[in-house]
Amino acid sequence: KKVANLTVTWQTPSNIALVKYWGKSEPQIPKNASISFTLNNCHTTTKIEFTKALPKDEAAFELFFEGKKKDDFKPKIAKFFKRIEEYCPYILEYDMVISSENSFPHSSGIASSASGMSAIAMCLMSLEKELNPSLTNEYINKKASFLARLGSGSASRSIEGPLVVWGSHPKIEGSSDLFGIQFPYKVHPVFENYQDTILLVDKGEKQVSSTVGHNLMHNHPYAENRFAQANDNLEKLSKILQNGDMEAFISLVESEALTLHAMMLTSNPYFILMKPNTLEIINKIWEYRQENNSNICFTLDAGANVHVLYPKSEITEIEAFIKKDLAAYCQKNQYICDSVGFGAQPL
């Protein structure tokens, strides 16, 4: 089918890994399988206006971020388009105007590459569907995740929800290194509507870009053990998600977060990505859990912010605790209340 013009808008979420992806080989193949909660309130909205043009050697696009022309993000997107050109040759036949915005504060230390890359991928798949109306939704989601992965590995986990596995794993049916899949087993009700309050401890620029970070695993003395441990943890977590064993969930998820940071502490060069307030918060969470017999726990990304995870049933008490005892450790007392979501949505 011929398509002269098309404007599409997609909203896609960020995600938070429970078993972390850290270490990859070309082309964006993870060294271990990972699993994440898809988020709901932290998302990117991206509109692409496609206009048919003469075929070019390189994708032609303009980029607007939060209403302003944003040329410093262009090289990253250009590299992404170059990488996916062989899978989407049609992008060379359109001029594209990309306009994007995030629901979360700019440079808040929340990974925007996952939501950003997955949103572009969904927009491209909308064009592909126009060109080829017979495509199924299943194909579209799978290919969008495949494309998003080539932009940013964790972006492959931002197309669907509420739990997504990326990386081939013998105990997770249908899993692949090439795209994310919905966790294929029935999840215990305690994990429905799970809450994630993101404490913004440090909103500064990332100290370690994820490209540099993943490379640190190449000559890392603990790399092979870490990859084996992550795959092992995913197998354990798969059972926990089905049987609802909260104690096991908490210890596995917190251990994964600390191990991610341990990899950075022990790499060459080494990095400390936590801030003093990160540790204050972790200690407060542990105290609260002990004293209140709570199921609160934390996880971390490659930065100082703390994701506070808890079942919906504890929301009233834990929100009060965060406001009273944890907000003071955040920059400008800022935190974001989020919960598990269901993935990409057309607007």
Q: Applying CB under 6 A, which residues contact ligand PMV?
A: 17, 20-22, 34, 111, 113, 152-154, 210, 260, 301-302
Q: Give the residue with the Cβ less far from ligand PMV, 47 or 206.
A: 206
Nearer to ligand PMV, 153 or 311 (CB): 153
In the complex with ligand PMV, the residue whose CB is nearer, 231 or 294, is 231
Measured from the Cβ of residue 221, the count of other Cβ atoms closer than 10 Å reads 10
**Does the CA dihedral 242-248-251-255 come out positive or negative?**
negative
Minimum distance from CB of 323 to ligand PMV (Å)?
27
- List CB contacts of 26: < 8 A, sequence separation 6 or more: none
Q: In angstroms, what is the minimal distance from the CB of 13 to ligand PMV?
A: 13
> Any idea which residue has 């250009």 for tokens?
78
Give the amino acid at 147.
Answer: L
Going by C-alpha positions, the residue among 68, 21, 340, 341 that lies closest to residue 180 is 21
Question: Quick check: 323 and 216 in contact, CB under 8 A?
Answer: no
- Cβ–Cβ under 8 Å, residues 227 and 32: yes
Least spacing, CB of residue 1 vs ligand PMV, in Å: 34
Tell the smallest beta-carbon distance from residue 155 to ligand PMV (Å). 6
> 202 or 301, CB closer to ligand PMV?
301
Asked if residues 274 and 227 have their Cβ atoms less than 8 Å apart, the reply is no
Q: Which residues contact 137 (CB under 8 A, 6 or more apart)?
A: none
CB 312, min distance to ligand PMV, A: 23
The strand pair at 297-300 and 345-346 is best described as unpaired
Toward ligand PMV, which CB reaches closer, 28 or 294? 28
Whether residue 235 contacts residue 171, with contact meaning beta carbons closer than 8 Å, is answered with yes
Smaller CB separation from ligand PMV, 123 or 300 = 300
CB of 89 to ligand PMV, least distance (A): 25
